[in-house]
Amino acid sequence: MKIYISQYSGFCVGVERAIKIAREYTKKYKNIYIIEDVVHNQQVSEELRRWGIKKVKKIEEIPQGKFFLINAHGVGKETYQKAKRRNLKIIDTTCPIVKNIHKEVINLEREGYTVVIIGDKNHAETKGILKNTKRGIVIENVENLRRIKERIPPKIGCVSQSTQAIENVVSVVCELTKIAQEIKFIKTICREIEKRQQEIKKLSKKVEAVIIVGSRKSANTTRLFNIARSINPHTFFVETPQEIKNKWKKFKSIGIAGGTSTPLSLLKKTEEKLNDL
């Protein structure tokens, strides 16, 4: 069996940076709290817990004056305000690319545009972008847009969640052109994500089967899976190498890829497991 690991694998720079900052703080301080996982990956989250990072459900549960770590997905303005009111010490690991999207939506509103965010409604990054607007609208896809088209004003400023697939963004923007009079579109898909999505398309055509490794909670990992599946019907999603099935040894070639929150070590372990079949 030939095994190919996608050349764009392992943590992205934003996740790498967030973990590094978290590590540095845990070496010096105790009582660091999070309300969202630093990374959407169970293995990494467990490691962070071992370093002493504590997860709570809401900011109000963090004791006054303690450290509050914001993850790479970022948060809205009100979260910073709440943290300040509780006298929390903020460790901000928001990815600079996401921070830039926050700035873009604030500028768009200043210029008089109603902000439209193309993204997953329930994803932390989308929620954070939305909370940086006064009256933003989230659109997940064309079907969703058709259902709410009466709410779309004539002048809109459009951005997307950084991990969106370009095809979805393009189709929503095309549909918006039928509804709005003026559209200012700012491309905010992360370059790192684009490279991974382009690579998985190539890899999915080249091999007999594809294994996507990562957390099912990770939006960009799920998107990689959907892209690969649309090209190669033998595409499988595993969270850990233990989920590898013996029957997959029938494939002569397998491609392995992971999202931006999947450590490279997990892809290597997946490769080892496949070699042992």
Positions annotated as catalytic residues are: 125
Q: Which of 232, 260 has the CB closer to ligand SF4?
A: 260
Of the candidate residues 1, 13, 142, 166, the single one contacting ligand SF4 (CB under 6 A): 13
Q: Minimum distance from CB of 205 to ligand SF4 (Å)? A: 24
Residue 192 interacting with ligand SF4 (CB under 6 A): yes
User: Of the listed pieces 9-17, 75-83, 105-113, 222-230, which binds ligand SF4 according to CB under 6 A?
Assistant: 9-17
Residue 106 interacting with ligand SF4 (CB under 6 A): no
What is the residue whose two structure tokens read 């999915």? 204
In angstroms, rounded to a whole number, what is the distance separating the alpha carbons of residues 153 and 160?
Answer: 18
Of the candidate residues 14, 119, 157, 263, the single one contacting ligand SF4 (CB under 6 A): 14
In angstroms, rounded to a whole number, what is the distance separating the alpha carbons of residues 98 and 162?
Answer: 7
Q: Minimum distance from CB of 105 to ligand SF4 (Å)? A: 15
Residue 12 interacting with ligand SF4 (CB under 6 A): yes
In angstroms, rounded to a whole number, what is the distance separating the alpha carbons of residues 115 and 17?
Answer: 28
**End-to-end CA, the chain:** 10
Residue 162 interacting with ligand SF4 (CB under 6 A): yes
Of the candidate residues 44, 95, 210, 213, the single one contacting ligand SF4 (CB under 6 A): 95
Residue 15 interacting with ligand SF4 (CB under 6 A): yes
Residue 39 interacting with ligand SF4 (CB under 6 A): no
Q: Minimum distance from CB of 193 to ligand SF4 (Å)? A: 5
Q: Which of 126, 260 has the CB closer to ligand SF4?
A: 260
Residue 241 interacting with ligand SF4 (CB under 6 A): no
Q: Which of 14, 241 has the CB closer to ligand SF4?
A: 14
Which residues between 63 and 82 bind ligand SF4 (CB under 6 A)? 72
Number of residues engaging ligand SF4 in binding (CB under 6 A) = 14
Q: Minimum distance from CB of 169 to ligand SF4 (Å)? A: 14
Q: Which of 226, 253 has the CB closer to ligand SF4?
A: 226
In angstroms, rounded to a whole number, what is the distance separating the alpha carbons of residues 193 and 203?
Answer: 15
Residues that bind ligand SF4 (CB under 6 A): 12-15, 72, 95, 97-98, 162-163, 190, 192-193, 260
